[in-house]
């Protein structure tokens, strides 16, 4: 039989009291003596439940504006005393320290205070000292003490004590593990706040762990750390895979550059768009995105910047796709898309996304700012005698948004707000261009009057020459090569237009 340790004395000191009343009532029904202070003490008293004041136990009041309340040997001695250690118990008896069997803490909301834009002084005051010390002490002594380190554990603990009195060792150890996670996460946010500029160490802590069926391949284990529910409402479908998540991330980042545009639809495969179109309606945008590469679209990830209409859903339903993402769906559209029970349907929420990227390499981690620059037409620098037409400027901006989200080396060909083809992940820019031209012709697109976008500069005029021979009339690129003039001169000779953005958009 698993031994359960009865709770005789509890210390409760929390910031967020949501859900606490049920626990306090249950502890009271089990004749647990409760110690508390400050706002938590007042909360318990308002419930009509007896509570012992920490100040009466320690013979010290709360001082320094509440900065020091529980930091006292009579508190920490009661938490850290080893029940099977004779010397510990002798000292506990000598100094009249009660054994504390349960500690419930919810820390000051440091992370939320920083996110709120509060002043530096307010942020500093939200660095919890007593609470974090209580958590670590109780977790260290988990063999005798149960620690509830945040409101996220309230429900689990209540379920345990409602079934029977006390806790067993396995339960206490599990709570201790969560406690050190809470402590670690809290300290990480404090460290990152104080080191917002040049960091001396890499610190990241994401408390939610979501095991996946496997990683990129079946023989690899995979876990997603994060809270997808904060970004999406999942309305239908199977569990997301490692590869699904990579594609979803690529899709969300791509569509972020089209947030304020007319209805735009993208289809992605292996992190790259195989179809993209901007139209007057979402169903038109979907049809023209699919036309970009109906072969690669099979099993793809679909994303729209506009709500999915019933007409669009009817068209989408005829395609086998893994995931559909949109800001909303009509009720009829949702029912149509749900006909495929494994199809994942996500409703995207409007949330602020992280602005940093991390990647594990060798025996360390790379960190960088996300590429959040979206080059605007008013900032395009005309480099040729011929200027692009209004439609070409629109297409250049469209293609340049996409090239930023396509694996390097890449070339994107577009016309009338539609992706015609792209060359992705090639070792030379010429290869990327020839791949794009071949693909566009394979799907019978007319390249006459199309535009070309490049993620990096042209060191030689070969790409603009190949593009011109294929019918392309306008080019957008970052510029910056010592041989820029060669490409510019060729464009001038044949009447092509070329604009520079000044921003390279490599993606590896």
Q: Could you give the residue numbers annotated as active site?
A: 140, 270
Of 214, 213, 255, nearest to 231 by C-alpha is: 255
Structure-derived torsion over alpha carbons of residues 245, 246, 252, 258, reported in degrees to the nearest 10: -150
Q: What does 166-198 look like in DSSP terms, one character per residue?
A: SEEHHHHHHHHHHHHHHHHHHHHHHHHHHTSSS
CA distances from 164 to 27, 41, 232, 390 (A): 11, 26, 37, 74
For residue 454, give the 3-state DSSP assignment: strand
* Cα angle 81, 103, 75; round to 5: 50
| Length of the chain, in residues | 508
Spatial distance between the Cα atoms of 343 and 329, rounded to a whole number of angstroms: 15
Alpha-carbon distance of 446 to 17, in angstroms, equals 65
What single string gives the DSSP state of each residue in 349-392?
P--PPPSEEEEEETTEEEEEE-------GGG-EE-SSSPPPHHH
**In sequence order, which residues have a C-beta less than 8 Å from that of residue 479 and are 6 or more positions away?**
381, 383, 457, 500, 501, 502
Helices (H), 95-168: 110-115, 120-125, 130-140, 154-163
The answer to whether the CB of 337 falls within 8 A of the CB of 324 is yes
Residues 6+ apart with CB under 8 A from 183: 132, 135, 136, 139, 149
The pair of three-digit structure tokens given for residue 213, joined into one six-digit string = 């069926």
Among the listed residues 354, 340, 345, 352, the one whose alpha carbon sits nearest the alpha carbon of residue 233: 345
DSSP string, 243-267: HHHHHHHHHHHHHHTTTTSSSEEEE
* CA 337 to chain CA centroid, nearest Å: 26
CB-count exposure of residue 341 (10 Å: 0-12, 13-18, 19+): exposed
Q: Which of 299, 348, 23, 17 is nearest to 160 (CA)?
A: 23
Cα–Cα distance for residue pair 35/55, rounded to 1 Å: 9
d(CA 131, CA 147): 11
State the Cα–Cα distance between residues 340 and 320, nearest whole angstrom: 9
CB 23 within 8 A of CB 49: no
Burial zone of 219 (CB within 10 Å; 0-12 exposed, 13-18 middle, 19+ buried): exposed
Peptide bond into 409 cis (omega under 30): yes
């Amino acid at each position: 039989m698993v031994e359960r340790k009865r709770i005789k004395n509890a210390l409760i000191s929390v910031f967020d009291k949501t859900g606490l009343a049920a626990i306090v009532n249950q502890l009271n029904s089990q004749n647990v003596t409760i110690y508390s202070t400050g706002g938590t003490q007042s909360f318990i008293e308002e419930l009509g439940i007896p509570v012992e004041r920490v100040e009466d136990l320690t013979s010290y009041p709360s001082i320094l504006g509440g900065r020091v309340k529980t930091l006292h040997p009579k508190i920490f001695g009661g938490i850290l005393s080893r029940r099977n250690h004779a010397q510990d118990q002798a000292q506990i008896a000598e100094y009249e320290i009660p054994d504390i069997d349960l500690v419930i803490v919810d820390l000051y909301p440091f992370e939320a205070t920083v996110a709120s834009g509060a002043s530096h002084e307010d942020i500093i005051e939200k660095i919890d000292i007593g609470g974090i010390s209580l958590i670590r002490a109780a977790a260290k002594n988990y063999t005798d003490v149960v620690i509830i380190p945040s409101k996220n554990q309230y429900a689990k603990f209540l379920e345990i004590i409602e079934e029977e009195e006390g806790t067993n060792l396995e339960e206490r150890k599990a709570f201790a593990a969560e406690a050190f996670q809470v402590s670690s996460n809290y300290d990480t946010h404090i460290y990152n706040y104080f080191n917002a500029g040049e960091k001396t160490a890499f610190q990241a802590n994401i408390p939610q762990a979501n095991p996946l069926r496997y990683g990129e391949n079946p023989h690899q284990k995979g876990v997603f750390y994060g809270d997808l529910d904060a970004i999406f409402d999942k309305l239908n479908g199977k569990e997301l895979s490692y590869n699904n998540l990579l594609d979803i991330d690529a899709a969300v980042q791509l569509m972020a550059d089209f947030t304020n545009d007319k209805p735009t639809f993208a289809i992605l495969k292996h992190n790259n768009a195989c179809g993209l179109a901007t139209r007057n309606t979402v169903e038109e945008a979907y049809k023209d995105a699919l036309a970009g590469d109906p072969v690669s679209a099979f099993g793809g990830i679909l994303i729209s910047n506009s709500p999915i209409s019933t007409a669009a859903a009817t068209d989408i339903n005829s395609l086998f796709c893994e995931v559909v993402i949109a800001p909303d769906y009509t009720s009829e559209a949702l029912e149509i898309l749900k006909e495929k029970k494994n199809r994942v349907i996500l409703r995207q929420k409007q949330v602020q996304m992280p602005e940093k990227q991390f990647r594990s390499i060798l025996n360390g981690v790379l960190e960088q700012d996300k590429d959040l620059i979206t080059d605007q037409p008013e900032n395009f620098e005309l480099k040729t005698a011929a200027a692009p037409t209004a439609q070409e400027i629109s297409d250049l901006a469209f293609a340049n948004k996409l090239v930023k989200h396509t694996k390097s080396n890449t070339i994107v060909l577009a016309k009338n707000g539609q992706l015609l083809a792209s060359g992705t992940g090639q070792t030379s820019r010429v290869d990327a261009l020839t791949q794009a031209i071949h693909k566009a012709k394979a799907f019978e697109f007319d390249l006459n009057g199309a535009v070309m976008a490049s993620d990096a500069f042209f060191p030689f005029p070969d790409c603009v020459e190949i593009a011109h021979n294929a019918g392309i009339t306008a080019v957008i690129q970052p510029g910056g090569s010592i041989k820029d003039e060669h490409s510019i001169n060729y464009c001038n000779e044949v009447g092509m237009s070329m604009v520079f953005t000044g921003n390279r958009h490599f993606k590896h």
